[in-house]
Homo-oligomer: A and B are copies of this chain.
């Protein structure tokens, strides 16, 4: 386009100037956003899960909607709007805006012995937004975030989006092999190479492995954070759902100064409220609040949850969830013991939603995925949980969504599927 053409197009008569033709909106996108990595949790939000359908979906880590206390929630919503509705719906919100954070602090202190001052807590739209806010406050593109291998795909996605350099470290039955982390940290320091800023871990009933980190390993990881000055992002989404075994102290309890602790009501009340939280040193929380442009979570949701929590016995509620999910875990482990011994190895979670299955090395995973629908059973391929290549030999199974009988049936189908893709 010539300058004279440009000039003539600057008359205001026509809204479609010639130069519009050169316009590429994508030229205006910010640089440094890496959209390619990982899988967003939101990629799953539009997936219809029909429990009556022929497919038994052992892939997705969905809580069982039968455990949503729908009647109590209806009462809570009604009460919220009836008693303090006008304030709850206004900017600034009603009493729930102060009470919900108070409930969270009370619950965490009572159940997990996690002390927390008011300035050390910020509510988020689920754990996903919590990670995103942490990424924005702490990471410049090129900063390093370390993970367990395997790890939650949403975390790989969110930290990756911020341009983080990501690296994962192996696990065994005791959780993260902290020795491997220690070795790499020592090597980096010796060589003057950059240290990580964050280490993301799910110490309890990990997603996807179902494993828990032992107390000794927790202490060792904290010691490294102290020595090498990085922060631990402790995702405790499943921490309240322990069936058997000891409830181990959270990393936040062990060392509040070096831990950004995440939790959520998505697994214990319902995902549809999108209420999670971060507990962290006040200095970090203050910055996170500033980066959270929309301010506090909505007053309506906070009011409803606050009324709900004051109306129920939370301990009894959690106990009910545990019994419910434990029978499903048991059904899956029984099926594995009975039918998979010659075929696979698997983890034995003492809580949470997940079992991590190691397939025969001869398994063709892509073929297995292709046949999944026909066989009426689905799963998440292990590759989704790796920062780099790998995971082709694994799948994640979730026992949270179906009753024991359906799980038994699903596992029968899974066995046939695995056998059918052996050479």
The residues in A between 42 and 80 inclusive whose CB is less than 8 angstroms from any CB of B are 42, 44-49, 60, 62-63, 65-66, 68, 70, 73-74, 77-78
The residues in A between 100 and 141 inclusive whose CB is less than 8 angstroms from any CB of B are 124-126, 128-129, 131-132, 136-140
Q: Is the CB of A15 within 8 A of B226?
A: yes
Q: Is the CB of A294 within 8 A of B132?
A: yes
**Chain B residues in 8 Å Cβ range of A77:** 74, 77-78, 81, 304
**Chain B residues in 8 Å Cβ range of A131:** 293
Stretch of A217-225, A345-353, A414-422 with 4 or more beta carbons under 8 angstroms from chain B: A217-225
Chain B nearest CB: distance from A382 CB in Å? 21
Task: Answer yes or no: A177 CB below 8 A from chain B CBs.
Answer: no
Task: Answer yes or no: A85 CB below 8 A from chain B CBs.
Answer: yes
Number of copies: 2
Q: Is the CB of B91 within 8 A of A45?
A: yes
Q: Is the CB of A137 within 8 A of B90?
A: no
Q: Is the CB of A19 within 8 A of B272?
A: no
**Chain B residues in 8 Å Cβ range of A32:** 140
With beta carbons under 8 angstroms apart, the residue of B91, B197, B274 that contacts A62 is B91
**Chain B residues in 8 Å Cβ range of A12:** 216, 219-220, 223
Stretch of A238-246, A254-262, A331-339, A373-381 with 4 or more beta carbons under 8 angstroms from chain B: A254-262
The residues in A between 238 and 290 inclusive whose CB is less than 8 angstroms from any CB of B are 254-255, 257-258, 266, 270-274, 281, 283-284, 287, 289-290
- Give the nearest-CB partner of A223 in chain B: B12
Instruction: State in angstroms the CA–CA spacing of A10 and B294 once bound together.
Output: 42
Chain B nearest CB: distance from A126 CB in Å? 5
**Chain B residues in 8 Å Cβ range of A86:** 65-66, 68, 70
Task: Answer yes or no: A161 CB below 8 A from chain B CBs.
Answer: yes
Task: Answer yes or no: A227 CB below 8 A from chain B CBs.
Answer: yes
CB-defined A-B contacts under 8 Å, sample of 15: A16-B226, A17-B227, A23-B226, A25-B281, A28-B229, A42-B293, A45-B93, A65-B89, A73-B89, A74-B77, A77-B81, A93-B272, A125-B298, A270-B300, A273-B298
* Among all A-B residue pairs, the 5 with the closest Cβ atoms: A42-B295, A132-B293, A89-B272, A89-B270, A272-B299
